[in-house]
Amino acid sequence: MAILADRNTRVLVQGITGKSGILQTRSLIDYGTIVTAGVTPGKAGTTVEGVPVFNSAAEALERVEANAAISFVPPLFAKDAAMEAMEAGIKLIVLTMEGIPNHDVLDILAYASGRGVRVLGPGTAGIISPGKCKLGAHPARMYREGKVGVVSKSGALSYEVSKTLTDAGIGQSTVVALGGGPIWGTTQLDVIKLFNEDPETEAIVLLGEIGGGTETAAAEYIAGHVTKPVVSLIVGRAAPEGRSLGHAGAIIRGRAGTAESKMKALEEAGALVATTPARVVELIRKLG
């Protein structure tokens, strides 16, 4: 099972002929992900790593099967590409690029919600269901198949904690990074709901950071609905107040967004709260 991406995922790579597109397509295929098509306008008839390239998503879907798209399209053209993929019938879009204009992101999300499309990102490292499918930038050796679901805003932090889990012999069902921009599609809450319903996920790791209220919203849901154990790590305890630390969300607004307030909300919701990746491993181990 896993969530969002598994052995049934058939991937369309948008912007496949760019530097990132080529490198990442190779890495997806090396991992065993089934990439059925690539799209770059004007490049139809060529191939990248053996994957046929089409001029548009619609053309690609007439010829091959695809149910998810990962986009490496440059920021100013990302909106057009995302809408094209949605209109062609894709139901899951992973937007890897940072720097997409905010109004374009708003348009993409509005268009997606009208069509029942799930958008991950923008600025996301993507999804990996170890042993089944990699739909993102995850370095493969840091993952192994298992039963812990991981959700994180930050891509790098999701690699870091997964690496610590994997080094300790604890595998993951799916690891999802959401992206660090000021606006994003899928939230922690959305992913926690999916993990809670996924029979292959036995415990959930929630990685959060200072700023915003999404971890607090997730905590409310955890308290009322989540039956599986949740272990959480919130970073930014030592961050200076009121300063943006890269992620637009990571700026403290009032008391709501501090590491302490989030840790408290999660603790009260019944989650186990860690302060280091090593402690996340210890807490998962104790669950047995």
Partner 1 sequence: MKLYEFQGKALFKEAGIPVPRGVIVTSSDSSGLFAPSVVKAQVLSGGRGKAGGVALVSTIEEAREAADSILAMELKGEPVKALLVEEKADIIREFYLAVTFDGEAGTPLFMASAEGGMDIEAVAEKTPEKILKLPADPLWGVTDYKIRALADFLGIEDKRAFADLVRKVWKLFREKDAVLVEINPLVLTGSGLVALDSKIEIDDNARPRLKALFDEKLAEQAAITGAVPEEDSGTITYVPLEGDVGLISDGAGTGMLSLDLIRDMGGEAADFCEMGGLTSPEVMYAAMDRVFSDKPRIKSLLVVLIGGFNRMDEMAEGITSYVRDHKVSIPLVVRLCGTMEEEGKVIMKEAGLPVYDDLLTAVADAVRHSGEGR
Among 1, 32, 62, 76, binds partner 1 (CB under 8 A): 76
Residue 83: closest CA among 51, 119, 55: 119
Stretch of 6-14, 29-37, 138-146, 265-273 lying at the interface with partner 1 (CB under 8 A): 138-146
- What is the nearest approach in angstroms of partner 1 to the Cβ of residue 275? 7
Q: Which is nearer to partner 1, 198 or 209 (CB)?
A: 209
- What is the nearest approach in angstroms of partner 1 to the Cβ of residue 133? 16
Q: How many Å apart are CA 92 and CA 287, to the nearest integer?
A: 33
Contact by Cβ (8 Å): 154, 180: yes
Among 102, 256, 282, 287, binds partner 1 (CB under 8 A): 102
Q: Which is nearer to partner 1, 157 or 283 (CB)?
A: 157
Residue type, 112: A
Provide the H-helix boundaries in 33-154: 57-63, 78-87, 102-115
User: Is 87 a binder of partner 1 (CB under 8 A)?
Assistant: no
Q: How many Å apart are CA 180 and CA 155, to the nearest integer?
A: 8
State phi, psi for 146 to the nearest 5 degrees.
-175, -155
Number of residues that bind partner 1 (CB under 8 A): 71
Q: Which of residues 109-128 bind partner 1 (CB under 8 A)?
A: 109-111, 114, 123, 125
Q: Which is nearer to partner 1, 156 or 287 (CB)?
A: 156
Among 17, 209, 219, 271, binds partner 1 (CB under 8 A): 209
- What is the nearest approach in angstroms of partner 1 to the Cβ of residue 63? 29
Distances (CA, A) of 273 to 157, 259, 267, 268: 16, 11, 6, 10
User: Is 243 a binder of partner 1 (CB under 8 A)?
Assistant: yes
Other CB atoms within a 10 A radius of the CB of residue 156 amount to 12
Contact by Cβ (8 Å): 123, 97: yes
Among 9, 14, 17, 24, binds partner 1 (CB under 8 A): 24
Q: Which is nearer to partner 1, 46 or 187 (CB)?
A: 187
Q: Which of residues 143-162 bind partner 1 (CB under 8 A)?
A: 152-160
Q: Write the Ramachandran bin of 17: left for phi over 0, alpha for psi from -120 to 50, otherwise beta.
A: alpha
Is residue 247 annotated as a catalytic residue, yes or no? yes
User: Is 100 a binder of partner 1 (CB under 8 A)?
Assistant: yes
Stretch of 62-70, 87-95, 222-230, 275-283 lying at the interface with partner 1 (CB under 8 A): 275-283
Strand 92-95, strand 68-71: pairing: parallel
Q: How many Å apart are CA 123 and CA 118, to the nearest integer?
A: 15
Among 39, 61, 250, 265, binds partner 1 (CB under 8 A): 250
User: Distance from first CA to last CA of the chain, Å, rounded?
Assistant: 22
Token output for 86? 């949605």
User: Is 217 a binder of partner 1 (CB under 8 A)?
Assistant: yes
User: Is 278 a binder of partner 1 (CB under 8 A)?
Assistant: yes
Contact by Cβ (8 Å): 184, 118: no
Q: Which is nearer to partner 1, 157 or 192 (CB)?
A: 157
Tell me which residues are annotated as active site. 247
